[in-house]
Copies of this chain bind each other. A is one copy, B any other.
Amino acid sequence: MRIIITGGAGFLGARLARRLLELGSLTDSRGRSRAIDKLLLVDVVAAQGLCDPRVLHLTGDLADRRFVEQAISTDTDTVFHLAAAVSGEAEADFDLGMRVNLDATRALLDRCRLLSAPPKFVFASSLAVFGGLLPDPVPDDAPLNPQASYGVQKAIGEYLVYDMTRKGFVDGRSLRLPTVTVRPGKPNRAASSFASGIVREPLAGIDANCPVAATTRMWVTAPRTVIDNLLVGHEAPASAFGLTRSINVPGISVSVGEMVAALRRVAGDKVADRVQWNFDPAIDRIVSTWPANFAPKLGTALGMQADHDFDSIVHAYIADDMPKT
């Protein structure tokens, strides 16, 4: 079985790759369990630290159709499409967002039409496809009404995945991920980047800024949990999906103030006091359009999990990703 991960050098992509190598097999689009022979990580840079004979690396631009043709061999069984320009980046640079989030998705799907059999195509969508006036909690069949370019591009990707699935070109699944926190490494240009920073930086002895109000609620998941849920989405039979092939992935609803309170419980006052509060209207404008509470019935029915509370998300970061001193 040959699997491709776009964004394979990114945090989630590399983590998914390690998990797949541990598992050793997945279910293909015909429902058969198959050993993973090849795992191709595609990204703009090569993934580090994955030494396994099954792993191949390929670097290039997924919006370039010739590169995509080279990246996806005709015997590919599964594409995990995680590559994206993040929310704040796509808002600041409209053309970049369209290129990375829309053109690349379309190029990948178009390429999948030419494979020997329709591959599973797991598209990392986002809660940012929602916005505007929504019930609380957001039901599975809520209308997509994104209020920033990133969410619009992800929504368009979902429509393409659904239509190309209907046409039999791919066996598509769009998984709308919660905000993934705590991410290790450096801040990125996601509008939600602070949700990792206000835990990660204080634990490293560094001050961190929170650009939104303490009362702002978010729908969040730990990295280990979202990886499990990506795999549930991959393994589910096509018949489990509804009329869109899209699923709201479970998370927990937590205010930013509660995040800092959890950090305080886990790591103490000295750490939590490193969080500072300087409002940033550009970030608040994007984050405040995202719904913060879902009723993810279909995802839960498929076996997707949510974290117990934000304390456990902080503990997960300390266990999994925090640099050891």
Contact = CB atoms under 8 A, between A and B. Distances in A.
Given A133-B243, A243-B133, A160 B167 contact: no
Interface string A237-264: 0000001100000000000000000000
Nearest to A94: B167
A105 B148 CA distance: 19
Contact of A159 (B146, B163, B167, B243): B146
A144 interface: yes
A156 interface: yes
B166 A160 contact: no
Interface in A104-162: 131-133, 141-149, 152, 155-156, 159-160, 162
A242 to B, nearest CB: 8
A140 to B, nearest CB: 11
Nearest to A156: B156
B145 A244 contact: yes
Contacts of A148: 163, 166
Given A155-B159, A156-B156, A160-B152, A166 B147 contact: yes
Contacts of A141: 133, 143
A163 B149 contact: yes
A52 B48 CA distance: 67
B147 A144 contact: no
A198 B156 CA distance: 36
Contacts of A152: 159-160, 162-163
B243 A145 contact: yes
Contacts of A147: 166, 243
Contacts of A167: 94, 149
Between A147, A152, A155, A167, the greatest number of chain B beta carbons within 10 A of the residue's beta carbon is seen for A152
A48 B194 CA distance: 60
A148 B243 CA distance: 12
A188 to B, nearest CB: 22
A132 B133 CA distance: 22
A176 to B, nearest CB: 14
B143 A143 contact: yes
Contacts of A163: 146, 148-149, 152
Interface in A257-280: none
A177 to B, nearest CB: 19
Interface of A: 94, 131-133, 141-149, 152, 155-156, 159-160, 162-163, 166-167, 243-244
